[in-house]
Structure 1
C-alpha cells in the first residue's frame, strides 16, 4: 500500500497549513487504514543546518561517482561524518520509503520556512532522483501571490520548491495548493479582504479533498 510521509513546517501550532495537511492526512488514512504513515514536525524538532562533515560526505560521493543512497554510508569514514550521517539517515530513510510526500509550508518572507530549507539541505545529495514519488505542498500566505496578483513576482516559495523538485530530484508529480490572505485574520488593515480569504480557504479545503480522491483513483 502507498506510504505517506507528512511534514509540517509552520511555527504556529494552529496554522492554516497544518490544518490542511491534517485534513489531507486524515482523508488519506481513511481511504487506506492499513497503509503506512509517517509524521515529522520540522518546527518542533528542527533539523540542524548542514556542516563541514556533511560537505565532505557530499564531495566524496561526487569523487567516487556514488549515486545509490544505499551506498552513501561507504563515505562515512570519520567520527565527524558519522555524527553528520546520524542526522541525515533517518530523514533520508523516511523520504526513500515514501510514495507520497506531503509538506505543509507557510510562506515566510516570500520563501519557505528555514526549517524546511534545512530539511531539504540535509537530504539532498548529488544526482539524486525521487522520480516516481509524488509531492504535495500545501501552503498559507499572508497576502495574495497567485497568478495575476500584484505580488505574484515575489512568490519565491512555490517557484523554488517546484523548480527544485523537478530540477534536482526529477520529480514529475508535484501538486501545490495554497490559502491566500491569511493575514486578514490578524491585520485590521486587511479587514476588507476577509471575505476573499475565506473564499480561498474554502477552495483549498475542497481542493484537498479532490486531490486525495484523485491520487487514490490514479
Structure 2
C-alpha cells in the first residue's frame, strides 16, 4: 500500500509553501485512494531539539554497530534516554512507514527553518538507510535563487537537503518544486517582480500536482 508522509514547516498559516504541499497531497490522495496519508505540522507543533540523552542513544548505536532501524530502541537504558526515545519513536515510525515524504517548507535566511532541521536531527541515526523512498520538497523562497541568478550561490536550502538525503539516507530520488520571489507579494521594492512570482508560483503548483498524481 502506498504511503505519504506530509510535513508542513511554514510559520505562516496561509503560505505559498503550504499551498504547494497541499497541491501535491491532494493529487497524491486522488491517485492513491487506498493509500495511507500521515500529516504533521512542524510549523504549528515543532518537535523539540535533541538533547544529551539523544546523543547517548546515538553513541550506543555507533558503538554497537546497529544499522537496522527496528533495533534502535535497544539503545534505551536510562529514564532520560527513554524520554528522548518517546519523542523519536513516533517521528521515526511515520518516516519509515512512508514511501513518499513531502516536505513543504519556506526558505528562511538562505536555508531550512529550524523546525525542519530539528525534525531531521530527531529522526537521523548513524548508518541508517531510507533508500527506495522518494522525497519531495515543495519550497517558497522570498527571492530568486535559480540557476544563473545573482543569488544562486546563497541557496543553502536545496543543496543541504539534497546532499543530506543522498549522503546520509542513501535517497537517490529527491525532487524540488520551488516558487520564487514570494516577497514581491508584500515588499514594495519588489512589486515590479510580482508578475514573475505569479508565473513561478503557477508553474510550481502545476508541477506539484503533476508529481503528486504520479503512481507511487
Q: Same fold (TM over 0.5)?
A: yes
TM-fit CA distance, 1:209? 2.1
C-alpha distance in 2, partners of 1:150/1:19?
A: 27
Q: Does 1:30 align with 2:51?
A: no
TM-fit CA distance, 1:163? 0.3
Residue by residue, what CA displacement relative to the aligned partner does 1:174-212 show, whole Å, maximum 9, x if unpaired?
A: 000000000000000001111100010111111112212
Higher RCO, 1 vs 2 (CA within 8 Å, ≥6 residues apart):
2
Aligned to 2:124: 124
TM-fit CA distance, 1:54? 0.3
Aligned to 2:16: 16
Aligned to 1:42: 42
Runs of at least 5 residues in structure 2 that lack an aligned partner in the other structure: none
C-alpha distance in 2, partners of 1:27/1:125?
A: 32
C-alpha distance in 1, partners of 2:92/2:167?
A: 18
Aligned residues: 216
Q: Do 2:27 and 2:210's aligned partners in 1 also have CA atoms closer than 8 Å?
A: no
Residue by residue, what CA displacement relative to the aligned partner does 1:104-143 show, whole Å, maximum 9, x if unpaired?
A: 0100000000000000000000001000000000000000
3-state DSSP class of the match of 2:144? Answer: coil
Aligned to 2:180: 180
Runs of at least 5 residues in structure 1 that lack an aligned partner in the other structure: none
C-alpha distance in 1, partners of 2:153/2:106?
A: 17
Q: Do 2:110 and 2:156's aligned partners in 1 also have CA atoms closer than 8 Å?
A: yes
Aligned to 1:77: 77
User: What TM-score, normalized to structure 1?
Assistant: 0.97
Farther off after superposition, 136-145 or 204-213: 204-213
User: What TM-score, normalized to structure 2?
Assistant: 0.98
C-alpha distance in 1, partners of 2:71/2:64?
A: 11
Residue by residue, what CA displacement relative to the aligned partner does 1:78-126 show, whole Å, maximum 9, x if unpaired?
A: 0000000000000000000000000001000000000000000000000
Residue by residue, what CA displacement relative to the aligned partner does 1:61-80 show, whole Å, maximum 9, x if unpaired?
A: 00000111111111100000
CA RMSD of aligned residues (A): 0.8
Q: How does 1:187-198 map to 2 (within 5 A)?
A: 187-198=187-198
